[in-house]
Amino acid sequence: VEKRELLYEGKTKQVFATDNQNFRIFAFKDEATAFNGLKKGKISGKGVINNKISSILMRVLEREGVPTHFVKEISDREQIVKAVSIMPIEVLVRNVAAGTLSKRLGLPEGAKLSSTVYEYCYKNNDLGDPLINTSHVVALGLATEEELKLMLKIAGKINDVLSACLKKINVDLIDFKLEFGKTIDGTIIVADEITPDTCRFWDSVTRSKLDIDRFRKDLGGVEEAYNEIFNRLQSL
């Protein structure tokens, strides 16, 4: 697979065409954003680390039978992925209250949820990715009810697989965001990335944050946190 033209310059990744229409090349950037792009910055070395972390976690998922877009790491910052058309829905999975859920429902950060919470957001930057429900998804034609059901089933499995895997390295999976895409033959697979940019990871013992919240909240030690997650994953 050979790299061709830049198709899309995102907030944290570049997407390149390849000589094969079934594949794209992702290049992970050091740029970081928060609060729907309102806060911008750079986390030195993040692109390299996130490329590696997403590759490891997608491989774990594949091994457990979860279909993903991941194909192969090809350099420090780059990986080959299957080309998909992205579903305009983000799926959020939450095990512990944090972030917008805490704010919206007045739950203290760190409160354990008695069962997993699933949320959907409409992927629309201009609107700030608003929270929607099943009837919005169907009424707006963002996905069919069956497709949404499948996405939820996959999200639940990912939660089980990743929570168990991270437990072994003393990391609690607080919550995470998934994107899904449709391949040319219509199959729904996990796309985008699974990294400290898209997950909340807390140390199981100290409950210290090992993710993008360190950047959002100016907690310091951002690079160290991303490196810590990568190092622990490598020990698996």
Ligand X SMILES: Nc1ncnc2c1ncn2[C@@H]1O[C@H](COP(=O)(O)OP(=O)(O)O)[C@@H](O)[C@H]1O
Rule CB under 6 A: choose which of 6, 8, 111, 184 binds ligand X. Answer: 8
Contact in structure between 89 and 118 (CB atoms under 8 Å): no
CA atoms within 13 A of residue 84's CA, in its CB half-sphere = 24
| Candidates 48-56, 76-84, 134-142, 208-216; binding stretch for ligand X (CB under 6 A) | 76-84
**161 touches ligand X (CB under 6 A):** no
* CA angle, residues 45, 51, 53, in degrees to nearest 5: 100
The CB-side HSE value for 178 (13 A sphere, CA atoms) comes to 32
Give the chain's end-to-end CA distance (angstroms, integer).
Answer: 30
CB-nearest residue to ligand X: 10
- How many CB atoms within 10 Å of residue 143? 21
User: Which helix (H) or strand (E) is 223 found in, with range?
Assistant: helix 222-234
Minimum distance of ligand X from residue 198's CB (angstroms): 9
Give the interface segment with ligand X, choosing from 7-15, 71-79, 98-106, 165-173 (CB under 6 A).
7-15
Q: Shortest Cβ distance from residue 213 to ligand X (Å)? A: 18
Binders of ligand X among residues 23 to 42 (CB under 6 A) are 24
**Angstrom distance (rounded) from CA 44 to CA 189:** 30
15 is an interface residue for ligand X by CB under 6 A: yes
State how far the Cα of 150 lies from the Cα of 145, in Å rounded to an integer.
9
- Show the site string, 179-218: x = touches ligand X by CB under 6 A, - = not: x-x---------xx--------------------------
Looking at the Cβ atoms of 13 and 96, the one nearer to ligand X is: 13
Residues that bind ligand X (CB under 6 A): 8, 10-13, 15, 24, 69, 81-84, 86, 179, 181, 191-192
